[in-house]
Structure formats: C-alpha cells, structure tokens
Chain A
C-alpha cells in the first residue's frame, strides 16, 4: 500500500510539460545514437533522467536535452544511466535449479545446443549458465550467445572478473542452485577479485545487440532474458516477445525473470508453462 501511495505521488510530480520534454528527449537520443528508449517505461526513464539532473544540477529536461545534443560525452553518460545492469551469479538460485533439473534433461537429447542470453549485463548469469552446463556435461556441445546493448558492460563481461565482496553470496547461490561441485573449482581469487577460469568462456560469444532495434540472428534452443522486459512498455514487450518467438525453435525454452510473466503477452498461447514458478516456458 505504501508503495502505491508513493508512486502516485511521484506520478503527480510529472506534469504534462515534462512528459512532452521526456518524449522529445528520447526522440533526440534515438536520432543521435540509434538507441530507442521511446517505448521504455516512462516512470523508470523519468527517474533516471531526474537522477542525472540532480547529479549535474540541471533545472529542466530541456536544458539537459541541450547538453545531450551539444556537450561531448553527455549522451554516453545518459545512455549508461538508462542501461540498468543489476545481476548476480545464479541469481534466483531456484531458477537455475529448475533449469538443471527440468530443462537440462531435455537439452541432453540434442546434438547441438544454442543458448541466447539477451541483456546479459556484466555476464554473471552467463557464467553461471556455463558452469551449470559444464557440470551437466553439456558444455562442449553448447554455444552461448550473450548480448547486451551496452558495449561497456560487455567488455566487463568478457573479463570474467568479479568483485570478491560478492563471492560469498554467489557461493550460497551456487549451492542453492544445486551445484554439484565446489564453487571454488571455477575461479581463483586474489585479494580483490575472483577470476573465473577462461575455459568457461570457450563456448560463450559476446555481442552487442539491441532488443528494441535489432532483429533475430539465429535459431535458439534456449533464450534467457531475465529482468529486462520490465523496463519496456507492454507494446515493446510484445514486440520483443515476437522476436524471441521467432528466434526459438519448436520445443525451445524461454526463461524470464521471477517477477516477469508471459501470461499477459500476446504470445501466451504459443507457449507451455514448463515451470510456472520459475518462469520457464516452452514453445509449442
């Protein structure tokens, strides 16, 4: 209830003029950079914009638009703001456990497996998937395509180097996700970072891909796209769901974030609820 009250108050903060300003700003960003945020959830975009305005002490959105157009480097800043990179290894361990227990047996029947990790951010979940597949003996016949629209985070992802501070959480997640080895088999650590073994990277290829503007690039057996669609409006979600549907082979799996659902999408009827609590769907 509190949330609701807070939200509605926040909505009130934004007047008609601001909405126009935001629309114009997103249009400008699209025309300048090719990144299309016009169909992203306004509330989120507005919060990111307001955040940046607060940091830069800019009074109006139009003033910020001017900076975006004329000030070098500012566009990149705001693009980074819009790209939200929250992730962790074996995030929502139950998802990975379910994947291991239910999806992997299905995958074992295949000759070659192609997995698309859309919106992979800094790659934690991609590495988690690689570890899981290795333990299940599927690593050698799998290729993981990890994509994100943000080139910077992809660079990070390619390094496979994660802060040591988070490793305790990751270890717990790994264990809860049903890991069959010791998590420490996969990394070496120094005082600050854990370096994941490069062998995990063997079957992963990282590429820049924008879900909003780019099209399908292969046919996949599994598509993982967790907590990405929540930033999109319903219309854009449907568009991306079309893209996924088109990119999945028959019987292929689609894994979504734990708060996401296909239930309200136009594509609901084209999928089976393979594991509805973990949001794993199978294309009919």
Chain B
C-alpha cells in the first residue's frame, strides 16, 4: 500500500476512531489483498510507510465478500462490479482477506 494511502487510513482512524472505520479492498490479486489487509490491521509489513509498527486492527473486507456485496444496490453492483466478478477469483480474494481479518482485526461489521 503506497505511503499516501497508509496516511489516509491512519488519519481516518484517528479522526473517527478505529472502531468506526471499515476498509474495503478492491485488489485483483490475493497476494496483494493480503498485504493491504495486513497493513491496515497489523501494520505495514514492508516497514516503509506511516503504518509501520502501527496495529490499527481495522475491520477489513474485500468488496467481493458477502458482508459488503449484501450492502450494495444489486443494479449498481451489476453495473459497476458484475463484470469483474466474472473475471477475478472472488473466492480466493475473499479467503485471503478473511484470513488476515481473523488473525489481526480488532473490529468487524
């Protein structure tokens, strides 16, 4: 996760309280999704950004997880995400983020 985005996440957690922030990932690659999820829960694993050594424990989900998909208007979902649902390995993406969430998240939906 680039340094600007880490800072934005950190700022949001400070401003609204970590319990009130949910991070929704749209990453197309399970390995990348895992790193993003880890960054906003356990801290930046590359120790390069503002979240290095900062364990925010935020609630983190992939957009393809049922908790998030269920919140979306089906017609908007169809228009915005339907195509990518056919392209990407949604199960692997959801599993990757869930694994990290169960390990490091202090909050959930």
A interacts with B: no
Interface residues of A (CB under 8 A from B): none
Interface residues of B (CB under 8 A from A): none
